Amino acid sequence: MDETGGKGEGGGKPVASGFSGVLLALLAGLFASVTLATIVGPVWISPLTVWKVALHEATGFLRPDWSAAEGQIVWQIRFPRVLLAAVVGAGLSVVGTALQAAVRNPLADPFVLGGSSGASVGAVLVIAGGVQFFGIYSLSVAAFVGASVAFVLVLALARSPGGHTSPLRLILAGVAASYALSAVTSFLVLRADDPEEVRSVLFWTLGSLGGARWEYLTLPSAALIGGTALLLAQSRSLNALLAGEETAVTLGVETDGFRRRLLILCGLLTGTMVAVSGTIGFVGLMVPHTVRLVVGADHRRVLPAAALSGAILLVWADVVARTAISPEEMPVGVVTSLAGAPFFLWLMRRKRGAFGGEGG
Amino acid sequence: MHKKASWTLPMLLFLFSLSAACSGDGPAGGPSGANTSGPEEASGYPLTITDAVGREVTFDSRPKRIVSMAPSVTETLFAVGAANRVVGVTTADDYPPEVEAVERVGDYRGPNVEKVLSLNTDLMILSFDGATEGYAEDMAEKTRTKVVVLNPKTVDAAISSVGLVAKLVGEREKGRVVEERLRDELGRIGEKVAGEPKPTVFYEVWGDPLQTAGPGSFIDDAIRLAGGTNVAADTGDAYPEYSKETLLQRDPDYYLAGRSSGVTVEEISGRPGYPALGAVKDGRVTIVNDDLVVRPGPRIVEGVREIAEAIHPKAFD
């Protein structure tokens, strides 16, 4: 607590001016990443053509002097995919940041409260169980419903008889629910008659942005913008929550109700992201920590910085996923964990900052 | 995922056992091959065979109670007239329709030992990737049943394994007839497509994430035998996740999809980027019965034929 507060960002002071430099650098980095990521792919298309296609599709200018396949690859496959990577990466990081404060646990990530195992149950029902209520959107809808149901379940279970919801109870309920839901997934997978279905389930649970379409961007983007704005507005309460229960109460935060609203928001955001990308690990856990090591613990800084860093990380992870073993694809979750974990450990050994919830 | 190296050795042993088996299988009952010993009497027993994982198994008499742990093997047993001796099959078995009446004793991962024991069996045939030598030995001991492992990896090996299964259960002659019919049929398909240009083919196993069939899969082999070129032939895996960009760039002449994933031609045609595919524009997207091509049983040539008809419509008018 002392250490977090000691960094000078705990209270209501204005965000220091040095931070706007960091934010600008991250914004520029994200723009550069998206630009570069759209010209990289298993199929080589010259950067000029990529941007001519984009200009043509966006504004109607230019007469196509590229092949139909190139046009489709750039505009229907790459752009939605790169943008979806940015949105999902940002979303998972923002949720991770908020959840680490909400449950005051450095191990919290978007999936700590059963979100991923709930979404997996939904996905398995569609892939191996043949449940197809919403046509091509069946998988997304099932994943969203699964994640949301798991969240609600955990919130209800974590409530003590007195109506109090402590971080510890939340974590324990989340872990218990995750085990139960994972067991359901395993059971359904074992009941599958076909090894191909089992493989599809595995690919889905490791995360993939390969299914990206323009339609998939609208809802996650709206959720990301709305959710981040709401959380930013609550930065002071988040700071207080991260500092500790007593501090928060002293600062006038009604912790129980605030935590509950926070969790519902996080649950909705997680479900939205999982619906379009499967369960991509590591991003939501490590990006908030990494960002805190650099910009301190104030959520007015951490939230925007985490959103931008998460976006950049996932855009590049997906570039690796779709090019490293081309023409095959790797599950993006494998890339995020494989590349991200060593980087994080290196950063952790170099820096001696406080982690979310540490020492609080 | 399944790597080539892990089955190269068993595969070689399997082929070796087959060639050896064939050499002792002449119409005049010639000298027995290196791996087939025992007097060549009318019954063919005692019979010793070497299975796909290099185990020698000896049968003193014709097996009477058989457990089949793969739909392809079950189909073969029914095709060679051993149906009434099949006492246990897997949950995935659905062909021929009469198999409905047979007890389920396991799934593609393996048998339930207690169930097999209760059926008092004398032959269990395994045919899946996880069936190693150790697994087979262990299973033989636990179920007190002779265990034989098959693991054909090509259409040709699948046809040969039909003959081997027939021989195991003492239906050598029927097996020979089935094998001959399959080879004739495959030969006719080959003749029909021989003069045709080889169209490029993409085979979809699953839509999201996109999965295809690469080298080492029956589908890959079936496409080749059907006179086509698999555009995913350069992947390193039997069932890899595949890049949509590469698919659009390679623009296959034909787009095939397995029907067990539940996709429709309309759904495929409406995917992002797919309108640029020649196969979509010209109506060359076909849903095929994937049970035929993924099961190395007596219907595998029907699967090859289905693909050949889809990608060489003129040759099959």
- How does pLDDT run across B20-33, given as a tens digit for each residue? 344 333 333 333 33
Is the same domain home to B71 and B16? yes
Q: Are residues B202 and B158 in the same domain?
A: no
Establish if A322 touches chain B: CB-CB under 8 angstroms. Answer: yes
Size of interface A-B (CB pairs under 8 A): 113
pLDDT (0 to 100) of residue A168: 87
What is the spatial distance between Cα B187 and Cα B174, in angstroms, rounded to a whole number?
20
Same domain, B171 and B31: yes
Among the partner residues B108, B206, B244, nearest to A77 by beta-carbon distance: B244
| Residues in Cβ contact with B7 at an 8 Å cutoff, skipping those fewer than 6 apart | B129, B151, B153
Return per-residue pLDDT of chain A as tens, 360 residues: 333 333 334 444 455 567 889 999 999 999 999 999 999 998 999 999 999 999 999 998 888 899 888 999 999 999 999 999 999 999 999 999 999 988 888 888 888 888 888 988 988 888 877 777 777 778 888 889 998 888 888 888 888 887 777 888 888 999 999 999 999 988 888 777 677 777 778 888 888 898 888 988 999 999 999 999 999 999 999 999 888 888 888 888 888 888 888 988 998 899 899 888 988 988 998 899 989 988 988 999 999 999 999 999 999 999 999 999 888 899 999 999 888 788 778 877 876 655 544 443
CATH number (domain holding residue B312): 3.40.50.1980
A76 touches chain B (CB under 8 A): yes
Tokens of B2: 């399944």
Regarding whether B224 and B165 lie in a shared domain, the answer is no
Do you find a cis peptide bond into B46, omega within 30 degrees of 0?
yes
Residues B35 and B174 both lie in one domain: yes
CA distance A211 to chain B (A): 6
A44 touches chain B (CB under 8 A): no
B189: in domain: no
Per the model's pLDDT, the better-predicted residue between A163 and B304 turns out to be B304
Interchain CB distance below 8 Å, B248 and A195: no
A73 lies within 8 A of chain B by CB: yes
pLDDT 10s digits, B228-252:
999 999 998 888 889 999 999 999 9
Cα atoms found within 13 Å of the Cα of residue B91, Cβ hemisphere only = 13
Q: Does A199 touch chain B (CB under 8 A)?
A: yes
Contact B272 A212 (CB under 8 A): yes
Do both B201 and B179 map to the same domain?
A: no
B210/B269 same-domain check: yes
Pairwise CA distance, residues B109 & B107, whole Å: 5
The minimal CB distance from A68 to the residues B237, B240, B276 is found for: B276
Residues of A in contact with B234 (CB under 8 A): 327
A320 close to B (CB below 8 A):
no
Q: How many domains does chain B have?
A: 2
Same domain, B38 and B149: yes
B133/B267 same-domain check: no
Per residue in B176-201, is it b (16+ CB within 10 Å) or e — as a string? bbbbeebeeebeebeebbeeeeebbb
Q: Which residue of A has its CA nearest to B248?
A: A69
Distance of alpha carbon B91 from alpha carbon A46, whole angstroms: 51
Contacts B249 to A, Cβ<8 Å: 43, 69, 73
* Mean pLDDT score, B209-232: 93
State whether the Cα torsion A221-A227-A231-A233 is positive or negative.
Answer: positive
Interchain CB distance below 8 Å, A210 and B251:
no
- A355 CB within 8 Å of a chain B CB: no
Do both B73 and B121 map to the same domain?
yes
Same domain, B123 and B19: yes
Give the best-scoring range by mean pLDDT among A213-217, A243-247, B48-52, B283-287. Answer: B283-287
Q: Domain range for residue B44?
A: 4-183
Question: What's the CATH code, domain A2-10+34-350?
Answer: 1.10.3470.10
Question: Is B188 inside any structural domain?
Answer: no
Q: How high is the pLDDT of residue B262?
A: 81
Cβ contacts of A183 within 8 Å, gap of 6 or more: none
Q: Per residue in B147-180, pLDDT tens?
A: 999 989 899 999 999 999 999 999 999 999 999 9
Residue B296 inside a domain? The answer is yes
pLDDT tens digit sequence for B86-144? 999 998 899 999 999 999 998 877 899 999 999 999 999 998 877 899 999 999 999 99
Examine the domain organization and report whether B84 and B172 are in the same domain.
yes
Compare CB distances from B272 to A41, A77, A204 and report the shortest one's residue.
A77
